[in-house]
Amino acid sequence: MRNEALYQATIDILDLYLSSFKLEAAIKYWSNKNRFAGSSDRRHIRNITFDIIRQKHSCAFVGGGLSGRKLVMGYLILKDLDLSSVFTGLKFAPKEITKIERRFLIFSYETIKVYELDCPTWLVPIIKNSLSENFNNYLYLMRTRALVQLRINKHKTCRKNVLTLLRNEEIEVVPNKLISSGINVLNGAHKILRSSVFFDGLIEFQDVGSQLVSQMIEIEEGDQVLDLCAGSGGKTLAVASEANKVAYYSAWDEDLNRMDDLENRANRAGIKISKLLNKPVQNIYDKVIIDAPCSGSGSWRRNPQGKWDLSLDKLRLYIDIQKGLILDAFKLLKQGGQVIYITCSVLDIENEKLLEELILADGTFYKEKTLNLLPTYQNDGFFAAILKKI
């Protein structure tokens, strides 16, 4: 597909999204209706679409409105690209820009103010209060694309071997500088799911921030470990890969469907995880991991729709759920056990402040250790705390 045709496809997908479709559903619908598009074209269209959703309000401001066409105009202006090379009016390309449209396009803007548009207005003071001098850098990062990152399975291999194997399959990778298990994928990420390295359980997709918080968890010989919000088991697999002692891992999730892929992932990694179908009630665990539902504000680069779907009521609900999970987890601990509380949020009301209020109100546990990771080029934003029962 020609460049201008890629942008017309993006316009069509954005119009579906703005009408009522979820972002992934809009992309899938367009792909099913346009099977002529090759895999590389679809990847390019997807990348542009996600870039625009990360910057939806600034693109709308610069482009003169909230439609697929105007969002693409704003996106091209913000990237300092030539509009006339895309809006050509040729077959499969967007129609030429009209005089009326050009009147509303904004070619001069103040960068910082534009960045602020790409954060829900009601949330700006909450994030500013949480991040203070890091606020502007955070806004900038959330408008950019996150790295595809991998975690090696230390039970089976070493990073040097994985880097060699992936490069042999023409996947461009480099070691991550923050953690010995991490790999950054620079090019060829679409090949990984078909690679022998993946099928043999040598790697998993996992952000480096998630790997760093998982590495905080020190496993002792014979530990009973419960992942209380397991999903597909990413945190438990990371913990088990790092541990060099025998332990027993169990997983449960309120939504059992979220654990559908857990067994496949565990088998591929060569790690045994018992999937629980009933909510655990016995106090038999040495460690309970809570990868809590949250705003996702540390990882909005990967899920830009989550940023726009968040509301104050949703945030309050998340906080209530987080408090309930922590209190439930302590009921499942043996004497001297630990709760590991994790969010992919940068909001202090989901992290430090939440724990301070809960400790003050409950008084039966204290913080042993915390890790507060702000988003960077190399990692998403995460918070983790190790809590011990008094």
Give the span between the Cα atoms of 123 and 207, in whole angstroms.
25
3-state secondary structure of 349: coil
**pLDDT band for position 49 (cuts 50, 70, 90):** very high
Per DSSP, the chain holds a count of helices (H) and strands (E) of 17, 11
Tell me the residue ranges of DSSP E strands in 3-81: none
264 and 370 together in one domain: yes
| Position 124 in a domain | no
Record the tokens describing residue 339, joined without a space. Answer: 């709760």
Residue 375 above 80 pLDDT?
yes
With respect to residue 125, please indicate whether it lies within any of the assigned structural domains.
no
pLDDT of 111: 79
Domain that holds residue 163: 148-205
> Residue 189: CB partners within 8 Å, gap ≥ 6?
148, 171
Give the pLDDT of residue 260.
95
Residue 129 falls inside a structural domain: no
Q: 3-class DSSP state for residue 372?
A: strand
Looking at the fold, whether 98 and 225 belong to one and the same domain comes out as no
Q: Would you place residue 284 in the very low, low, confident or very high pLDDT band (cuts 50, 70, 90)?
A: very high
Tokens of 90: 């040729």
**What does the pLDDT look like over 170-229, one tens digit per residue?**
999 999 999 999 999 999 999 999 999 999 999 999 999 999 999 999 999 999 999 999
Asked if the model's pLDDT at residue 121 lies above 80, the reply is yes
Calculate what percentage of the chain has a pLDDT beyond 90: 93
Q: Please check whether residues 236 and 385 belong to one and the same domain.
A: yes
More confident residue, 342 or 109: 342
Q: Is 68 left (phi over 0), alpha (psi -120 to 50) or beta?
A: alpha
**Residues 316-340, mean pLDDT to the nearest whole number:** 96
Where residue 165 falls among pLDDT bands split at 50, 70, 90? very high
Residue 97 — very low, low, confident or very high, per pLDDT cuts 50/70/90?
very high
Report which of 74, 144, 139 is spatially closest to residue 105, judged by C-alpha positions.
74
Rounded to the nearest 10°, the torsion over CA 272, 276, 277, 282 is 160
Q: What is the domain-level CATH number for residue 228?
A: 3.40.50.150
What does residue 372 show for φ and ψ, rounded to 5 degrees? -120, 105
Mean pLDDT of 114-124: 92
Q: Is there a single domain that holds both residue 255 and residue 199?
A: no
Model pTM score? 0.92
Average pLDDT of the residues in 317-327: 97
Q: Are 341 and 352 in contact (CB under 8 A)?
A: no
Average pLDDT of 39-43?
Answer: 94
Q: Do 365 and 223 reside in the same domain of the chain?
A: yes
Q: Is the confidence at residue 35, as pLDDT, over 80?
A: yes
Asked whether residue 323 falls in the same domain as residue 377, the answer is yes
For 70-207, strand residue ranges (E) read: 148-152, 172-175, 182-187, 203-205
Task: Indicate the pLDDT class of residue 66, thresholds 50, 70 and 90.
Answer: very high
Checking if the pLDDT of 112 tops 80, the result is no
- Give domain status of residue 248, yes or no: yes
Average pLDDT of 51-80? Answer: 96
C-alpha triplet 323, 338, 154: angle, nearest 5° = 115
64-76 mean pLDDT = 97
Question: Is 175 a domain residue?
Answer: yes
The four Cα atoms 81, 118, 26, 296 give a dihedral, to 10 degrees, of 130
Whether 364 shows a pLDDT value over 90: the answer reads no
Length of the chain: 390
Cα dist from 112 to 139, 146, 300, 301, whole Å:
9, 20, 18, 18
Query: What is the mean predicted confidence (pLDDT) over 151-155?
Result: 95
Average pLDDT over residues 41-54: 97
User: 84 and 165 share a domain?
Assistant: no
SS3 category, 230: coil
82: in domain: yes
Q: Please state the domain count of the chain.
A: 3
Instruction: Return d(Cα 51, Cα 302) in angstroms, integer.
Output: 10
**63 and 193 within one domain:** no
Q: Which has more confidence, 224 or 245?
A: 224
Tens of pLDDT, residue by residue over 285-307, are 999 999 999 999 999 999 999 99
297 and 356 assigned to the same domain: yes
Let me know whether 183 and 72 are in one domain. no
Q: Which CATH number do you get for residue 179? A: 3.30.70.1170
Confidence of residue 380 (pLDDT cuts 50, 70, 90): very high
Q: Is 229 in contact with 291 (CB distance < 8 Å)?
A: yes
